[in-house]
Structure 1
Amino acid sequence: MAASGKRSWKLQEFVAHGGKVNCLALGRASGRVMVTGGEDKKVNMWAVGKPNCIMSLSGHTSPVESVRFGHAEEIVVAGSLSGALKLWDLELAKIVRTLTGHKASVKSLDLHPYGEFVASGSTDTNIKLWDIRRKGCIFTYKGHTNGVNTIRFSPDGRWIASASEDSTVKIWDLTAGKLLTDLRQHSASVTCLEFHPNEFLMATGSLDGTAKFWDLEAFHMVDSVEADAGGIRCICFHPDGQCLYAGNSDCCTVLGWEPGTKFDSVPVSWGNIESITVGQNQLIGASTNQSNVSTYVVDLSKTKPIGGSAPNQPSQTPLSSSGRKSFAERPPTQSTKQAKPKEEPLEHAQPEEDPAEDDTSTADIQNEADYREIFQPKSRKAIDRDSNKKVEPFSPPDEGVHATKPSSANPGATKVIPASRHEPAGLNMDDFLPKQAQNAAGGVAKKPNVSEIDALNLIGRGHDSMMAVMSSRQRNLQIVRALWTGGNIKTAVDSAIGMNDQAVVVDVLNILCAKSNLWSLDMCALLLPQLKDLLGSKYENYVQTTCMSLRTILKNFGPVIKSNVTAAPAGGGVDISREERYQKCNTCYGYLMAIRAVIDKKASTSGKMSSTFREIQLLLGTLD
């Protein structure tokens, strides 16, 4: 096929971090910038198409698990394994805010389209709404039963939509601080969601291989379309709202709704695709593979419906062809609050409550020319897709010159939402706060007349069960500690196992992993059955501790176990110590073989810990 006939190609591949790349996001305004987060605890900024890092942001104390640009690409927010969020001002190359409150890894982020708010979703199953200026969480939305994969603010900023590992999608009302609807049509983890750019419609993608379209007036599903084989990892609407692009491991599928249609399918070997966006009539995709990042381009002028007979565009009315309203129709909120005053810019907000952590947060500009061009333009409109700045589309790698800039599929069509849709609309930001949170955050609501005793009872309500669990755990650990400090570590560990509390066993394992000299064959035989059970835990940190313990056992005792099992004690004499060692090694070998069956199954699946499982699998292979 001639180069000019290519529908997709790899643009670049480069090493992005000193460790595994955990997350990645493309800038939606321009499609030309990218942010990555890695196991090395860094957040790196890139220009798509260029292999050199523009700026590296340091400060997280644990691996970075999620990243997201602000709507104008002037701010980036990152969430870590420890549950902390950090925001950077890219124009000033400095930290803005550190926010803490999640009890587990932050897996998804979004920034409010108008106000100074950030939303975060975590593996602790909670969603938090943060006020950047007030330096804290103003509301926590609870309802998911598993980790939150994706969250998005609605275009008018009044809702948060969340997609979860529990196969559900929920929509929350920010003003009321409550659940609006619970959408339950997917049969597997929901990995991604996006709001339609023009109308009251939302799309969701799932590992069940389907994209579903939801009417947001009646909150019901209007269509379900099966993409090509494999789960959907990311989606995005065409800027004009004509179709939806869905990415899985080896292709990009173009989907339509009402009626549900698969317009086209473009093979793209992008593997672990993390983010896609549209710019200059091209779809840009970025994927990760260990410490590497690859970017890909799909030429939309050669895909249907953009490159073929496009569906009719809506007329000059806020109604779509389906008669559905647009978010622009939402009743405006009258506001007496002016836009952010110049004397109080975001970067001059008060310092965080944890200044020590911020002292270590730095921005290392590694490419001054690209940094000034991309993050310090004279006007933020220089990077907006609606600006007049001409940006050449990416060309296939074997073409010597840039291809002619593709023309719009329907240049005469009028967009439903104007170019000014990302600008503030004079909204009163306090109207977006839940009424309960306004009191705590210093809002206008009056302070209720509550006595101190009633207030303490109110705060404690709902925490009794957790307090009981934590008190029991503390008592158990005190017993284990008393036995441990008495000098009999094996008895202490045996006591911890007998308490039938996995949390206590994990606490003991963390101590043993920190002091590998405490391990012995007796300890291995005692703990290996517990490790097999912990591998099936729903808590990620339990599984991580289990893998760390298995790594310690296999590296320190693997050769001993193998040599003793393969050379059973010879007859003709009595060697009690050798017989005992053989029995212990044989017992450990049996447990390890049972664990191997579990590890082999887990290593064949995709996920954040798949590389760890493969490492344990290789170590177990040395026993053969």
Structure 2
Amino acid sequence: MAVAVTTKTAWKLQEIMAHSSNVSSVVLGKGSGRMLATGGDDCRVNIWSVSKPNCIMSLTGHTSPIESLQVNPNEQLIVAGSRSGSIRVWDLEAAKVLRTLPGHKANICSLHFHPFGGFVASGSLDTNIKLWDVRRKGCIFTFKGHTEAVRCLRFSPDGKWVASAADDHTVKLWDLTAGKLMFEFTGHTGPVNVVEFHPNEYLLASGSSDRTVRFWDLEKFQVVSCIEEEATPVRCVLFSPDGCCLYSGFQDSLRVYGWEPERCFDVVVVNWGKVADLSISNNQLIGVSFAQSTVSSFVVDLSRVPKSDSIPHGLIRDDQPLVPPTPTGSSLRRIYDRPSTSCSKPQSRVKHNSESERHSPSSEDDRDEKESRAEIQNQEDYKEIFQPKNAICRTPPRNEPFPAPPEDEPGTAKEAVKPSQAVDVQTSLPKQELPDPVQRPPIGSSTSLTRTEPSVIPAARNEPIGLKASDFLPAVKNQSQTELVDEEAMSQIRKGHETMCVVLTSRHKNLDAVRAVWSTSDIKNSLDSAVAINDLSVVVDLLNIVNQKASLWKLDLCTIVLPQIEKLLQSKYESYVQTGCTSLKLILQRFLPLITDILAAPPSVGVDISREERLDGKDYRRPQVLHSEIIAV
């Protein structure tokens, strides 16, 4: 009886060093799900294949860091917006800049291609939304209405509307034909990070930093449902191709939602950190995230993720389309009326236009072409993807899903999903759902190796005592596991190192400021400046110095230090509590008799103005209350 290989639900595909400086933006091509574009502080746009570690093409021309990227539906054009407000459009097939679109006065925060025509929408930190005609190189219309940065733009599937999400907590729907605002959706209590149209119905989803996902009816202009109380802000959302569920990317997790009624079908733990973009290809969800100069890609096998309450976990078939369990809302909701033009016609039209523009560029385009260039770093991959012999087979790898690693395979992907989720899948699933990855030579070879281990190791019992085959056969596996664990540890160390450097640098600047005050003034003014900085670590460092020299303590310092000691005693850090206790001990040792005498002294004959001021001052009452609490303890 053959033993089925249990594979993972989610795993890390690869991690690449994308730029020489920090990565600022990443985007996946939605056509194939295999093209990745990255933008960095080095002002470059790099093009990658998701499954390959080498850069295919590097696009230059921007003079400021890249803030936003977007790839058109047929993956022939890419648009990049910079921090200076400039927008450039590249033709990937011709490997040259196609257009430069100036107009915004601040950072480009969002971009999106029209699904049919050669148009691009851009949103900026200047709160404006501009619609550009790539062919005519001009701004068609400017939409104004947001009061803060526009973080996301999406065209409707029929190309008639554009939805915008902004930091002003609103989602706006704009009519492209009339050139005006159709409706403003309110309800979010934090910046709205992302919006997404349903592929078929008049439905819009929005995700916000208030940790909610809201669904909006675009026919009745009202909220359909709201999913609340998530742990982290919503960073990206994506409807399934059949439109029966919504995939939402959170910090280190993927959630699957339904909206009528609102419910969560599943939560998949994926160690991708702050996910930046999602794409679906071959029943696999691809997610990318970035940190500093590295970009990581992850894969989630959607055949193991339920999309409905009515279907058991792990038994979803591609050849059996799913229908939501409560189709009443969807059956009554209006469907998009797409234009009669097929998908191939807009693509061919854009291609012919780009051809004519290549042969007869304007003088300004010539100047842009000289300033902007495409450095093809991998000629073979570039020709295979962007210049194929047959246009129908543009992206050869798109028909082959990424093979899932075995559950017991060591590596960084081991952290991508909890073991209980992978073991829960039935053993018959790989035969029905994943025939191709099992039959492929790489997986077949690794599978046969893992299957032969039990047959080789028992054979060592017939060998002399002390000679164990297990000491020799798994050596390569153990070595790779050690190497991967070391790389994993180094990655974690580097990640924490950068954060610690920022913290220590800030702390060093604050201490320098306090030291400068102390050198020109006295200890009281330096304590005042430390308290004003509102950083307990600086207060602790200063108190540690004062505690070493008891003569520095004065009664007027107590009124400044005692409120800070209250905070230190409630801190979760042991060193802070110890410093607070030491300071409080010195205060009580030196000034307890004086405080007691002041409190117990009878009033003198006449009016003692200084005593009345001390008794009425809030700084005096604080040590009095604190002293009584300590005595009670």
Q: Would you call these one fold, judging by a TM-score over 0.5?
A: yes
The 1:245/1:591 distance shift into structure 2, 3 A limit, reads same
Partner Cα distance (2:61, 2:522) in 1:
46
**1:114 and 2:80 aligned:** no
Partner of 2:8: 6
| 2:195 aligned partner, one-letter code | L
Out of 37, 47, 50, the position equivalent to 1:48 is 50
Report the alpha carbon displacement of residue 406 of structure 1 after superposing the two structures with TM.
3.8
Q: In structure 2, do the counterparts of structure 1 residues 230 and 92 end up closer, same or farther at CA, with 3 Å as the change threshold?
A: same
For residue 464 of structure 2, what is the aligned residue in structure 1? Answer: none
State the distance in 2 between where 1:87 and 1:584 align.
61
> Equivalent residue of 2:105, what SS?
coil
List per-residue Cα deviations over 1:532-564 (Å, max 9, x = no partner).
xxxxxxxxxxxxxxxxxxx99999x98976765
Given residue 144 of structure 2, which amino acid in structure 1 is its aligned partner?
A: K
1:31 alignment counterpart:
33
Give the equivalent residue in structure 1 for 2:263.
Answer: 261
Which amino acid in the other structure matches residue 91 of structure 1? E
Q: C-alpha displacement at 1:293, in angstroms?
A: 0.6
CA contact (8 A) 2:212 2:228 kept: yes
The answer to whether 1:178 aligns with 2:187 is: no
Provide the rounded CA distance (Å) in 2 between the counterparts of 1:389 and 1:376.
15
Report the residue type matching 2:402 in the other structure.
P
> Quick check: 2:81–2:88 contact (8 Å CA) kept in 1?
yes
Deviations 1:99-128 (A, max 9, x none): 111111001100111111110001111111
Aligned counterpart for 1:393 among listed residues 402, 413, 426: 402
2:78 pairs, out of 69, 76, 79, with 76
Does structure 1 residue 365 correspond to structure 2 residue 376? yes
Would the aligned equivalents of 1:211 and 1:227 in 2 still touch at CA under 8 Å?
no
Question: Which residue in the other structure is 1:326 paired with?
Answer: 335
- The Cα of 1:24 is off from its aligned counterpart by 0.6
Alignment CA distance shift 1:381-1:152 (3 Å): farther
1:284 aligned residue (283, 286, 304): 286
Cα separation, 2, equivalents of 1:584 and 1:330 = 77
Q: TM-score, normalised by structure 1?
A: 0.62
Instruction: Indicate the SS of the match to 1:298.
Output: strand
Residue 386 of structure 2 is aligned to residue 375 of structure 1: yes
Q: Is the 8 A contact 1:297 1:394 kept in 2?
A: no
Change (3 A) 1:47 1:341: closer
- 1:434 maps to which residue? none
In terms of fraction of residues, the more helix-rich structure is 2
- Give the deviation of 1:231 after TM superposition: 1.0
- 1:392, 1:312 → 2: CA distance? 19
Q: Does the aligned pair in 2 maintain the 1:280–1:406 contact within 8 Å?
A: no
Number of aligned pairs?
434
- Report the 3-state secondary structure (helix = DSSP H, G, I; strand = E; otherwise coil) of the residue aligned with 1:305: coil
1:397 Cα deviation after fit: 7.1
Unaligned stretches of 5+ residues in structure 1:
409-550, 569-581, 601-624
- Which residues of 2 match residues 534-549 of structure 1 at below 5 A? none
Mapped to 1, the partners of 2:110 and 2:267 lie a distance apart of 28
Match of 1:272 in 2: 274
Question: CA offset at residue 161 of structure 1?
Answer: 0.5
State the Cα deviation string for residues 248-276 of structure 1 (Å, max 9, x = none).
Answer: 11100000111111000001111121001
2:400 and 2:305 map into 1 onto residues whose CA distance is 21
Deviations 1:380-405 (A, max 9, x none): 54358xx99732334227789xx779
- Percent of aligned pairs sharing the same letter: 46
The question of whether the paired residues in 1 share the 8 Å contact of 2:131 and 2:139 is answered with: yes
Cα-to-partner distance string for 1:179-224 (whole Å, 9 max, x where unaligned): 0010002111111111111221111111122211111112211111
Counterpart-to-counterpart distance in 1, 2:369 and 2:534: 43
| 1:281–1:406 contact (8 Å) kept in structure 2 | no
Q: Which residue type is aligned with residue 391 of structure 1?
A: E
Match of 2:95 in 1: 93
Pairwise mapping of residues 116-135 of structure 1 onto structure 2 (< 5 A)? 116-135=118-137
Residues 206/158 of structure 1: CA separation in 2 closer, same or farther (3 Å cut): same
What is the aligned partner in structure 2 of residue 159 from structure 1? 161
1:297 maps to amino acid: V
Task: Give distance in 2, aligned partners of 1:324 and 1:346.
Answer: 42
C-alpha distance in 2 between matches for 1:240 and 1:327: 14
Q: Superposed, which structure 2 residues align to 1:139-288 within 5 Å? A: 139-226=141-228, 228-288=230-290
Letter in 2 for 1:392: P
Whether contact under 8 Å (1:199, 1:327) holds in the other structure is: yes
User: Distance in 2 between the 1:182 and 1:352 partners?
Assistant: 42
Q: Distance in 1 between matches of 2:374 and 2:526?
A: 49
Distance 1:124 1:586, change over 3 A: farther
CA spacing shift, 1:331–1:14, aligned 2, 3 Å? closer
How big is the shift at 1:328? Answer: 2.6
Query: Alignment RMSD, CA only?
Result: 3.8
Secondary structure of 1:322 counterpart: helix
Aligned residues of 1:113 and 1:153 also touching (Cα < 8 A): yes
1:14-65 Cα deviation digits (max 9, x unpaired)? 2111111111101111111100111111101111121111111111000000
Q: Deviations over 1:329-366 (max 9, x none)?
A: 67999xxx995684764544644747645422111111
Asked if 1:301 corresponds to 2:310, the answer is no
Paired with 2:61 and 2:133, the residues of 1 have a C-alpha distance of 21
Deviations 1:147-191 (A, max 9, x none): 011001111111110001111100111111100010002111111
Q: What is the CA–CA distance in structure 2 between the aligned matches of 1:16 and 1:388, rounded to whole Å?
A: 21
C-alpha distance in 1 between matches for 2:291 and 2:159: 34
- Helix, strand or coil at the partner of 1:369: helix
Name the larger-Rg structure.
2
What residue is the counterpart of 1:104 in the other structure?
Answer: 106
**Does structure 1 retain, via aligned residues, the 8 Å contact 2:7–2:407?**
no
Cα distance change of structure 1 residues 407 and 39 upon mapping to structure 2, 3 Å threshold: same
Q: Would you say the 8 A contact 2:8–2:404 is kept in 1?
A: no
What is the TM-score normalised by the length of structure 2? Answer: 0.62
Amino acid at match of 1:200: Y
Q: How far 1:5 moved relative to its partner?
A: 4.0
Gaps in structure 2 of 5+ consecutive residues: 309-313, 410-429, 436-503, 539-633
Letter in 2 for 1:324: R
Read off the aligned partner of 2:279 and give its amino acid letter: T
Name the counterpart of 1:65. 67
Q: Secondary structure at the match of 2:265?
A: strand
